[in-house]
């Protein structure tokens, strides 16, 4: 049996059915059971080192799995940051002890992770962060606030950026830490969006003590660790295979056009053809990135190309959806779940241009690091952080 056939058969037998109106606790319990079974079947962490709980397989195998899994609504969204961002960074920068401690439980879904980067005064300019970590004997004491932290209310651990040296320029005095989200002094407060859901959180750190071995990477080298994690994040966001149940895929929008009698409209057909071409181009680009990574050439700044293209693809799909569905894209009759799902997907699309770095930031990275264009002027790059007036700092 080929690997694809193995994946197809296992998913068909093991993907749990979606339970309507399940509580958050029930959904997470289901996700953890499924992720553990996935790992036990040899299908989690396909390209991760076998020494630490991965499978040691190729990027091509991961693509096969993603393609087969796209047909299902897998209960794994709660692990997106764990698998796509934090875990790969631990594999890249962690000590042997950190990898041995954290990677296998992460892959089995036993522990959930979050990313603690953004602050009220440090969003796109993450290097302006003000959360402080001060050395106290064998420990670090952390004080500060993070915001827009996805999934923090469910997380067991987080990758935290904190300032450890304010006497050097802002990019040079940052350290990344592994923080226990259940530690004394950590407070998580959910932030509700316009749908009433709370996918984001603000997180407060009040004299939180971290052991010396909580440093991920090197002390004061947190910007390098952050760039490493952001690279994984952008590849994860931009390189994900679009699931077939997503109402904004070409296939589902073409089906919607047929159901609404719009499939023969020449304008609709032209827009659908453009959407199909854009989907296919992004898929092929991501295939190339994976093949190159498998050959030992990580995508680096080109991950921003995938992230930007993925965000623009969603906006293109929203325009096509509006053209086809008209007012049904914003309002629907009660008992029309398909229209409701389409509207929810449309409402969620603006986040694609912000999460993981705004489209403007991605264009700057592509211009400087891929195309070799001159850097944007940065008058504060060589100024000690203590002398800057950033965010709420006096």
Pair 62, 51: CB distance under 8 Å: no
Q: Which residues sit opposite 208 in a β-bridge?
A: 142
Cα 192 from Cα 200, distance rounded (Å): 7
CB atoms within 10 A of CB 83: 20
Spatial separation of the C-alpha atoms in residues 202 and 193, rounded to whole Å: 13
Write the DSSP string, 174-186.
EEEEEEETTSTTE
| Distance of alpha carbon 61 from the chain centroid | 21
Q: Helix crossing, 250-259 with 303-325: angle to 10°?
A: 0
Given CA atoms 165, 170, 171, 174 in this order, what sign does their dihedral have? positive
134 DSSP β-pair partners: 141
Does residue 218 have an active-site annotation? no
- The Cα–Cα gap between 148 and 115 comes to 10
Name the token pair of 295: 């050959």
CA dihedral 196, 200, 204, 210 (to 10 degrees): 140
Active-site annotation holder among 202, 233, 292, 312: 233
Helix boundaries (H) for 146-212 = none
The CA-based dihedral angle spanning residues 40, 41, 43, 46, taken in that order and rounded to the nearest 10 degrees: 60
Question: What is the crossing angle of helices 303-325 and 266-294, to 10°?
Answer: 160
Pick from 7, 169, 165, 176: which is nearest to 90 by CA?
Answer: 176
Roughly what angle, to the nearest 10 degrees, separates helices 222-239 and 303-325? Answer: 40
**DSSP per residue, 289-345:** HHHHHHTT---GGGHHHHHHHHHHHHHHHHHHHHHHHGGGGT---TT-HHHHHHHHH
For residues 179 and 185, the answer to whether their CB atoms sit within 8 Å is no
Residue positions annotated with a catalytic role: 233
């Amino acid at each position: 049996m080929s690997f694809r056939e193995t994946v197809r058969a296992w998913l068909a037998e093991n993907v749990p059915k979606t339970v309507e109106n399940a509580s958050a606790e029930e959904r997470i319990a289901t996700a953890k059971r499924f992720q553990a079974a996935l790992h036990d079947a040899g299908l989690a962490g396909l390209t991760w080192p076998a020494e630490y709980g991965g499978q040691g397989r190729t990027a091509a195998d991961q693509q096969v799995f993603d393609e087969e899994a796209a047909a299902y609504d897998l209960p794994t969204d709660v692990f997106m940051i764990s698998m796509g961002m934090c875990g790969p960074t631990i594999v890249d920068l962690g000590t042997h002890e950190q990898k041995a401690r954290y990677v296998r439980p992460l892959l089995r879904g036993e522990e959930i992770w979050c990313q603690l980067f953004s602050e009220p005064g440090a969003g796109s300019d993450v290097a302006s962060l003000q959360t402080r970590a001060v050395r106290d004997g064998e420990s670090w004491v952390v004080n500060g606030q993070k915001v827009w932290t996805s999934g923090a209310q469910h997380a067991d651990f987080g990758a935290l950026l904190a300032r450890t040296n304010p006497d050097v320029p802002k990019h040079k005095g940052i350290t990344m830490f592994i923080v226990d989200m259940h530690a004394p002094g950590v407070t998580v407060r959910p932030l509700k969006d316009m749908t009433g859901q709370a996918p984001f959180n603000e997180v407060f750190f009040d004299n939180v003590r971290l052991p010396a071995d909580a440093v991920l990477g090197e002390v004061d080298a947190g910007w390098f660790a952050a760039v490493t994690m952001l690279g994984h994040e952008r590849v994860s966001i931009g390189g994900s295979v679009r699931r077939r149940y997503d109402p904004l895929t070409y296939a589902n929008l073409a089906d919607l056009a047929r159901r609404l009698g719009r499939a023969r409209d020449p304008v609709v057909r032209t827009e659908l053809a453009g959407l199909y071409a854009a989907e296919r181009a992004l898929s092929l680009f991501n295939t190339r990135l994976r093949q190159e990574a498998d050959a030992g050439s990580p995508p680096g700044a080109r991950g921003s190309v995938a992230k930007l293209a993925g965000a623009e693809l969603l906006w293109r799909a929203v325009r096509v959806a509006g053209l086809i569905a008209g007012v049904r894209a914003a309002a629907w009759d009660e008992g029309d779940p398909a229209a409701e799902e389409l509207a929810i997907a449309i409402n969620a699309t603006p986040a694609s241009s912000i999460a993981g770095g705004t489209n403007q930031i991605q264009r700057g990275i592509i211009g400087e690091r891929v195309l070799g264009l001159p850097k944007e002027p940065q008058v504060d790059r060589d100024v000690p952080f203590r002398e800057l007036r950033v965010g709420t700092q006096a």
